[in-house]
Amino acid sequence: QSALTQPASVSGSPGQSITISCSGTSSDIDDYKYVSWYQQHPGKAPRLIIYDVTNRPSEVSTRFSGSQSGNTASLTISGLQADDEADYYCSSYTDSTAWVFGGGTKLTVL
């Protein structure tokens, strides 16, 4: 089970928008619509922020949005805030009936 590919790090200034990509294959992201995104602050458990590619839990800010094009899913955070500084992970259900995570992206708010 190979991991999905994410950039190691991204950065942005407060108020700006950033996008984190998550590249898979036709066996995972493209075949299924079960891409999810998780936010993890240091020393804390992961928190679901996007599911089924574009859906957002009710308690998650509308500044977070998800999209997909072919084998690549993306997470966009608009209006960056200091508290957005965290690690972000994508995940997908695969055709081998297993789940796989991306390697994670560290977001730095400058």
Partner 1 sequence: EVPLVESGGGLVQPGGSLRLSCAASGFTFSSYWMHWVRQAPGKGLEWVSCIKSDGSTIYADSVKGRFTISRDNAKNTLFLQMSSLRAEDTAVYYCARDKYYHLDVWGEGTTVTVSS
Binding site for partner 1 (CB under 8 A): 1, 3, 32, 34, 36, 38, 40, 45-48, 51-52, 57, 87, 89, 91, 93, 97-104
Tokens of residue 15, six digits: 């108020």
Strands (E), 29-98: 36-40, 47-50, 64-69, 72-77, 86-93
| 72 vs 101, beta carbon nearer partner 1 | 101
CB of 99 to partner 1, least distance (A): 4
| CB of 44 vs partner 1, minimal distance in Å | 8
Strands 105-109 and 64-69, how do they pair? unpaired
Report the alpha-carbon distance of residue 53 to residue 36 in Å, rounded.
Answer: 6
Q: Toward partner 1, which CB reaches closer, 64 or 89?
A: 89
